[in-house]
Structure 1
Amino acid sequence: MKKYFLLLSSVILINTAFAQQHKKSKTYEYPTDPLVLKKLHHWQKEKFGLLMHWGTYSEWGIVESWSICPEDEGWTQRKGPYADNYFDYVKAYENLQTTFNPIKFNPDKWATAAKDAGMKYVVFTTKHHDGFCMFDTHQTDYKVTSSKTPFSSNPKANIAKEVFKSFRKDSFMIGAYFSKPDWHSQDYWWPYFPPKDRNVNYDPAKYPQRWNDFKNFVYNQINELTTGYGSVDILWLDGGWVRPLASVDKNVDWQKGIRYNQDIDMPRIAAMARKNQPGILIVDRTVPGKYENYQTPEQTVPDEPLNNPWESCITLGNSWSYVPNDHYKTANYVVHLLIKIVSRGGNLLLNIGPSPEGDWSDTAYSRLKDIGAWMHVYGDAVYDSKPLAPYEENNIVYTQSEDGKAKYIFILSDEKNDVVTLPQTLHLPEGFTSKQNKISILGTKEKLKWNAATNEIVFPKKSSKNIFSKYAVVLKVE
């Protein structure tokens, strides 16, 4: 699918063919726990993270989980020899557990590549909506460590634990993606009724014991993840239709189908998680309130700064999960995304889907290497930064250091050309600099002249050959 930008309601949308857009919640409530606030502030300074969607669905090279959801949407379409019969399809899909054997799985390799790219935190799918667990849960046998799964005999079979361990060694913040709904659980999709859509297929108020069993199932799995997997910094909860009915916003299309109260008792879950992991950030996506510690607009870049902590989660390819021959965004494109997101006060969580063999594509590694080359020179203008008006003008983007002592000016390349062409002069907003300022190009010793009369930075006719001029050049005003 071709990529394009669409300006709509002050939001840049990055379109893909897979799943609905998650926009940010309309309200935000700051946490009050000092440990949570401290970790939230630290997370906001990190700016660049890695998200990975991975499960048995990678074997078919299809969108994660959604093809077993009986909704008639573009991202839920079934393909292949079982597509004509829903129940045969689900049986074949769940049978992928018996062939899942990612023998190339090497999380140290991923951590090294992500660190070299300048990433600072990781969010890994411990369980997606289909219910297949990439960790050694004791609540179900539908898991990577089950004897039914070939990979269970591998020393690194507890995949989530190995991922967390590898990235933790490289000082990453650790995030556990966890789906609140579980389409494999008989306490969520009760076999007595056929599933109708993504939601629970019975009325929890009519069958309270079954719903209570599901709540305990979710609680127990999160308890496992927050006790047996080392330090965990972020609990990233997806599946926002599992929520109190009172929190449903009928103005949001995908929330219109939520008919029942699917309250899983977040206060109980949060108390347990923070007892196990003091200060852990909880991201109950799209459910506004005290358990959405930061907001997660999906495949979008807000056009202006937001007042709340937020993160854009965006795919490197077109799909969240592995698809053969996926089309990957260029390094130039991703660097520009990162710059624009940071200039609005947010973080970029960039997604890569591992293959069924347990590795990324060569193109993904290449993109991260190129992004890392730019970050190595200009990362100081990204980390620990905050927005600076006027934020963006044409191909110029502005940020400032957290303490306000340094201002940064990003001169972006053309979208079709990786290399930045520096102008002879650069006109800046009124009051942006003074005669006392020192202006330089990051990564070089080259000082630039400031013409106070014309409010312009003057570039030398022959700039230093040491300037890294791909994607964006950054000026520092001190």
Structure 2
Amino acid sequence: MRKVSFLLFLLFVLKNDGRLIRYQRQRQHSPLPSGKYRISPTTGVRIALPTPEQLQWQSQELGVLIHFNIATYINNDGCIDQIVPNISLFNPYLLNTDNWVQTMLDFGAKYAVLVAKHACGFLMAPSNVKFPLNPTGKIISYNYTVDYSPVKGLNILDEFIKSCENKQIRTGFYYTVVTNNWLNVESGFVQNRTLKPGQLNITQKTYDNIVLQQLRELWTNYGTLDEIWFDGGYTTTLKDPITALLAELQPQAIAFNGYGISPNSVRWIGTEMGVAPDPNWSTGITNDGGDPNSPIFCPAECDTTLQAHDRWFWGVNVTLRSLSELIQVYHETVGRNCLLMLDLTPDRTGLIPSAYARRYKQLGDFIRSCYGTPVLPMERLISDDSLQYIQLFVSSPVTVDRSVIQEDQTDGQVIRAYVVDVQLVDTTNIHQWMKVAQGTSIGNKKIDIWQVGPQLINAVRLTIIKTVDKPVIKSFTVHLCN
């Protein structure tokens, strides 16, 4: 998504009643409500507790963020510089959301978030919202929607929801509160400046009412949503009403950039390149690798593009990122306890271009071939204190080159450091082990590609060397991949 350039490392800067309010990377000492946590009976430290919704969301691992809107029809990635495209441009004459879903399945996505309204202000569904113009007070409909375009009568949000439900893909909506070029809104506030072509003049109160009415439409008319995207956040005046509306209509939804308005919040990782820090914790509210000592469970989502150069909406003659680069993205997101949300980009016909569909499938095929089936051991051993997990291949040695660990975080993320080592087939001492990987945060998933390369082994061992409570390993597997 085009996080409007100044939002890359600063959520947004607002002017409100003469005060300058900076929404920077939120730090742990900020005066925000505490999360739900427990006290460890073994170490006495605070352990942040997830909601069931957060755990279910983390387990999905792969999702898509669908950038399809009127910005698709201009050579401008997200209506930068207050552009208001003519509504007649929006004409996806071959639109087929089943085509989108097939590409999601080929990639392996478990959930999909569609841009309902981006910075341009164009809404992808009919709206019953009416509002007064300033200063005349004339009442008009919110007529910058799909229902006033060449494909009038087509509710794209409804088509999207039905196609996803048919294939058991969970759904959500992206709606930017802080930008609306059509209504001359930037950083959440109506601007006091000369209107550009296509813009309307309204008051701040009118804009806030429009946002709340449209969110009510989006959160009422399309069933249960898995995730709601607040790209850039929300203004202080809208925080409380949005919080109440979310609790009323979609209390189970995951809220991206939603700390402070939802118990099911997830955080941005701070970059759009598809790289999570290592370590990356499931706790903390900063836009980075998190904080293992935070009492707030707030896992990270890594959003990135298929197209090169941070391009979100489909572009003419845009280069796709290579398969090898996308495989690296997978390892540096999902493999580092982050959800990979890959941009899905229909073109101006309303379909996924064949070259794009092929690349999504190539990435999905790699993930399935590499990690779909682990190398199975003959025997598994777990130490009495649950700090060592050993897999034996003695009578049938195997060649593997990586390990995958998953921590059961039902009672919080407790592991703080681990080591993976192997017993080589040609070793003369059965008690001799060679270290192949080590790390700190595990969380939902940690993938370690061994720097020593493929090894022929009799056994592999995971040792938890630091933990704040008794750990529970959900899965520990080894693999050999091309």
Q: TM-score range by the shorter chain?
A: 0.5 to 0.7
After TM superposition, list the pairs within 5 Å mapping 1:161-180 onto structure 2: 161-180=158-177
Native 8 Å contact 1:310 1:347 kept in 2 = yes
Aligned counterpart for 2:227 among listed residues 230, 234, 237: 234
How far the C-alpha of 1:295 sits from its partner, in A, is 0.9
Structure 1 residues 184, 16: CA separation in 2 closer, same or farther (over 3 Å shift)? Answer: closer
Structure 1-normalised TM-score? 0.62
Structure 1 residues 152, 189: CA separation in 2 closer, same or farther (over 3 Å shift)? Answer: farther
Q: Say whether 1:340 aligns with 2:314.
A: no
- Please tell me the residue identity of whatever aligns with 2:435: L
How far the C-alpha of 1:345 sits from its partner, in A, is 0.8
Unpaired segments of 5 or more residues in structure 2?
12-24, 38-48, 130-140, 284-298, 375-386, 388-399, 410-417, 421-425, 428-432, 440-453, 462-476
- Please tell me the residue identity of whatever aligns with 1:315: T
Q: Distance in 1 between matches of 2:143 and 2:279?
A: 42
Spell out, residue by residue over 1:249-303, the C-alpha distance to the aligned partner (whole angstroms, 9 max, x if none): xxxxxxxxxxxxxx31x23212222322231122236x77757811113314133
Report what 2:479 is aligned to: 475
Report what 2:242 is aligned to: 269
Native 8 Å contact 1:118 1:379 kept in 2 = no
Structure 1 residues 334, 192: CA separation in 2 closer, same or farther (over 3 Å shift)? Answer: closer
Deviates more, 1:162-171 or 1:182-191: 182-191
Q: Say whether 1:48 aligns with 2:40.
A: no
Spell out, residue by residue over 1:184-228, the C-alpha distance to the aligned partner (whole angstroms, 9 max, x if none): 2267775863279xxxx99xxxxxx93232222111111101110
Structure 1 residues 373, 278: CA separation in 2 closer, same or farther (over 3 Å shift)? Answer: same
- Please tell me the residue identity of whatever aligns with 1:104: L
Q: Say whether 1:428 aligns with 2:401.
A: no
How far the C-alpha of 1:141 sits from its partner, in A, is 3.3
Aligned counterpart for 1:366 among listed residues 339, 358, 372: 358
After TM superposition, list the pairs within 5 Å mapping 1:261-300 onto structure 2: 263-264=237-238, 266-284=239-257, 293-297=265-269, 298-300=271-273
* Identity between Structure 1 and Structure 2 (%): 21
Structure 2-normalised TM-score? 0.61
Aligned counterpart for 1:37 among listed residues 35, 51, 66: 51
Structure 1 residues 322, 30: CA separation in 2 closer, same or farther (over 3 Å shift)? Answer: farther
Report what 2:85 is aligned to: 94
Q: Distance in 1 between matches of 2:192 and 2:438?
A: 69
After TM superposition, list the pairs within 5 Å mapping 1:192-211 onto structure 2: 193-194=193-194, 210-211=203-204
How far the C-alpha of 1:137 sits from its partner, in A, is 1.8
Q: Distance in 2 between matches of 1:36 and 1:402?
A: 13
Q: Distance in 2 between matches of 1:174 and 1:408?
A: 38
Report what 2:392 is aligned to: none
Report what 2:151 is aligned to: 151
Structure 1 residues 370, 186: CA separation in 2 closer, same or farther (over 3 Å shift)? Answer: closer
How far the C-alpha of 1:403 sits from its partner, in A, is 4.5
Q: Distance in 1 between matches of 2:156 and 2:343?
A: 17
Structure 1 residues 358, 30: CA separation in 2 closer, same or farther (over 3 Å shift)? Answer: farther
Report what 2:214 is aligned to: 221
Q: Say whether 1:399 aligns with 2:413.
A: no
How far the C-alpha of 1:374 sits from its partner, in A, is 1.8
Q: Which has the higher strand share?
A: 2
Q: Which has the higher helix share?
A: 1
How far the C-alpha of 1:17 sits from its partner, in A, is 11
Native 8 Å contact 1:299 1:313 kept in 2 = yes
Report what 1:302 is aligned to: 276
Unpaired segments of 5 or more residues in structure 1?
1-14, 69-89, 203-208, 245-262, 383-387, 389-394, 410-423, 433-446, 456-472
